[in-house]
Amino acid sequence: MAVYTHVPAEEIDAFLTRYDAGRLVSAKGIAEGVENSNYLLETTGADGNGHRYILTLYEKRVDEADLPFFMDLLDHLGARGCLVPRFIADTDGKRLQQLGGRPACLIEFLTGISVTEPTPAQARACGVALGELHRAAQGFAGERRNALDKDGWHALAARCGDDFDQIAPGLGARVAEELAFLDAHWPADLPRSVIHADLFPDNVLMLGDEVTGLIDFYFSCTDIRAYDLAVTHSAWCFSNDGATWYGDRATAIGQGYAAAHGLTDAERAAFPILCRGAALRFLLTRAYDWINTPADALVTRKDPLAYLRRMDFYAKADPAELLGA
Binding mask 57-96 for a second copy (x = CB under 8 A): ----------------------------------------
End-to-end CA distance of the chain: 38
Q: What's the rounded Cα separation, in Å, for the pair 68 and 282?
A: 26
Q: What's the rounded Cα separation, in Å, for the pair 253 and 323?
A: 7
Q: What's the rounded Cα separation, in Å, for the pair 174 and 23?
A: 56
Q: What's the rounded Cα separation, in Å, for the pair 106 and 246?
A: 38
Considering only residues 199-218, where is the footprint of a second copy by CB under 8 A? 207
| Count, residues in the chain | 325
CB of 222 to a second copy, least distance (A): 31
CB of 311 to a second copy, least distance (A): 25
CA-wise closest residue to 196 among 156, 160, 236: 236
Considering only residues 131-190, where is the footprint of a second copy by CB under 8 A? none
CB of 34 to a second copy, least distance (A): 15
Q: What's the rounded Cα separation, in Å, for the pair 202 and 109?
A: 15
User: Contact region for a second copy (CB under 8 A) — 25-33, 73-81, 141-149, 263-271?
Assistant: 25-33
307 with 283: CB under 8 angstroms?
Answer: yes
14: contact with a second copy by CB under 8 A: no
The residues, ordered by sequence, that sit 6+ positions from 190 with a Cβ below 8 Å of its Cβ are 224, 225, 226, 227, 264, 266, 267, 270
CA-wise closest residue to 130 among 35, 64, 211, 239: 211
The residues, ordered by sequence, that sit 6+ positions from 117 with a Cβ below 8 Å of its Cβ are none
Q: Which is nearer to a second copy, 40 or 315 (CB)?
A: 40
Among 17, 20, 26, 161, binds a second copy (CB under 8 A): 26
Among 16, 22, 32, 194, binds a second copy (CB under 8 A): 32
Q: Which is nearer to a second copy, 66 or 248 (CB)?
A: 248
Considering only residues 262-321, where is the footprint of a second copy by CB under 8 A? 294, 296-299
Q: Which is nearer to a second copy, 7 or 157 (CB)?
A: 7
Among 21, 27, 199, 253, binds a second copy (CB under 8 A): 27
CB of 78 to a second copy, least distance (A): 19
Binding mask 109-128 for a second copy (x = CB under 8 A): --xxxxxxx-----------
Please give the residue ranges that form the binding site for a second copy (CB under 8 A): 2-3, 8-10, 12-13, 24-32, 40, 42, 111-117, 207, 294, 296-299
